[in-house]
Structure 1
């Protein structure tokens, strides 16, 4: 069952250009993204900084204006909801941001931060303390930490507070926006394991945003790789990792550290030339054409559509699709 559906989403921002700001331009942060997240599923959106993955998540949350396209949650078009209906949807859709330091008010205690959504949504006051204790236990925080402030906690503990707060209203979907990128590697695995346990126990769905494919290897059911505002490859995580088809996906996977030195010697590291073009002036045709090692003349004339390479495995690369035939 599909919980979240994103259809041909576009998020464009008007900007001033030129030396004195006299010109006008359009930043195409997201330029035609379609994704679905099913019940009890984790869909990872990965790509370099500036590819539009966080803007996609913000558009779902109502934090970025939608230029075109449609977002439905539980078969309800978010754009057409009344204020009361939208408020109900926000209860079922929560977010865990990248930096727990900036996500938490340093003046509030841990109990106050976790209980904030309960207060805002008028949860019975005499039940808030018990609910906070329940949430702290659920994410692995000790009861004696409830009166501490964020500055007295470690980075991993602060992120557990943020997760507990996100769970306060019993959501069905959590948008995880780089939730472990600010943490040490050893702590990253703990938080990822926590998220997977919570999904099993509570039946959660995740839209998991990350720039590092190694982070999503074990947590994601499906992976969508974004580049310059569009999805260039999407499919089951096992299929994308085992058989990447888009040159950009191959380059990202080649950068994942391997623990076995013998395997490191056998794998070719793909280093992309140049930087990602500006979304203010994207290339004509395929968005990856300026850095692609297998680009053809036709790649610079028209943007290719996502096409099915294998069941459920989509790729936006005609040269690779032709190699299948």
Structure 2
């Protein structure tokens, strides 16, 4: 498969207040991942692990401290500003909250048309494209003059998706796209994303904390903890046989309505809170919460090593 997006040792560090001596927030600290054409790669982890910052960096919305971002083999850092803007048109985003993502003063049609107008489309083609996009995401063109407040949460998210597709991108970064929706609506939006991927050949970088959603939509999954990838591989394999203790803990927390009394104690409860990226633990960042931690875990950060054909794990004693 053709590599569409490649992140190579990506770092996003935010300087603290107080000059050079202030501690640095290592939001993303050496993430590498590849998304192929037509593929969905999910990035999962707790809040504060660097998932959204990784997506924002790929979109140019967060400053890159180190590493490389390649789109179709082209390094974004080496392109001229005009070339970079043209390339970024091929990468669009669907944000978590459709309420804040849409201007309440703009009609649905104006919201969807915004990227077309900015890029100089003629008015007659804009209207036809808006109608096409509304139909594509399951909205009635008769709703074009309504404001976002007149729509349901699911309808608003369909508007956001339609706007993201306006310029026919190849990659859509979905940042928690269903977490603000009712459970009954989540499946509709997920099925819409799958249909659009099939019909349009889209690729997704799917950011989520909900592993049930990830299992439904993703081909591969990257598990992040405190700015680094601790495990990566095909969804079916990672969910069936997680190698990293953190991955095991996340998967054990997935609700199972048919769980027996005997299995109710199988959930792995992590001690403590996620450490601050301002002051990460020495060695393996998960060592302070890991149920299998050994003294060696605090000595040095383990590398991300190949386990089998398509799996990678960052642990000195993987399961």
Superposed CA RMSD:
1.4
Equivalence for 1:181: 179
Closer/same/farther in 2, CA of residues 82 and 214 from structure 1, 3 Å limit: same
Please show how residues 1-325 of structure 1 align to structure 2 within 5 Å. 1-16=2-17, 24-262=22-260, 265=263, 268-320=266-318
In the alignment, structure 1 segments of 5+ residues that lack a partner are none
* Corresponding residue SS for 1:218: helix
Closer/same/farther in 2, CA of residues 263 and 309 from structure 1, 3 Å limit: farther
* Corresponding residue SS for 2:149: helix
TM-score calculated relative to the size of structure 2: 0.97
Tell me, in whole angstroms, the C-alpha distance in 1 between the residues paired with 2:51 and 2:208.
8
Tell me, in whole angstroms, the C-alpha distance in 2 between the residues paired with 1:265 and 1:234.
26
**CA apart distance, 1:125:** 1.6
**CA apart distance, 1:259:** 2.4
Closer/same/farther in 2, CA of residues 267 and 189 from structure 1, 3 Å limit: farther
Q: Per-residue displacement from partner, 1:245-295 (whole Å, max 9, x unpaired)?
A: 111101111111112143883660111000010000001100100000101
* Alpha-carbon contact 1:258-1:264 (below 8 Å) kept: no
Closer/same/farther in 2, CA of residues 14 and 129 from structure 1, 3 Å limit: same
* Alpha-carbon contact 1:2-1:38 (below 8 Å) kept: yes
Closer/same/farther in 2, CA of residues 22 and 170 from structure 1, 3 Å limit: closer
* Corresponding residue SS for 1:207: strand
Tell me, in whole angstroms, the C-alpha distance in 1 between the residues paired with 2:234 and 2:7.
18
Tell me, in whole angstroms, the C-alpha distance in 2 between the residues paired with 1:121 and 1:181.
31
Closer/same/farther in 2, CA of residues 130 and 252 from structure 1, 3 Å limit: same
Closer/same/farther in 2, CA of residues 87 and 22 from structure 1, 3 Å limit: closer
Tell me, in whole angstroms, the C-alpha distance in 2 between the residues paired with 1:283 and 1:220.
31
Moved more, 211-220 or 272-281: 211-220
Tell me, in whole angstroms, the C-alpha distance in 1 between the residues paired with 2:196 and 2:138.
11
* Alpha-carbon contact 1:176-1:207 (below 8 Å) kept: yes
Q: Per-residue displacement from partner, 1:86-122 (whole Å, max 9, x unpaired)?
A: 1211211100000100000000000000000000011
Tell me, in whole angstroms, the C-alpha distance in 2 between the residues paired with 1:90 and 1:125.
23
In the alignment, structure 2 segments of 5+ residues that lack a partner are none
* Corresponding residue SS for 1:54: helix
Tell me, in whole angstroms, the C-alpha distance in 1 between the residues paired with 2:260 and 2:48.
34
TM-score calculated relative to the size of structure 1: 0.95
* Corresponding residue SS for 1:25: coil
**CA apart distance, 1:16:** 2.2
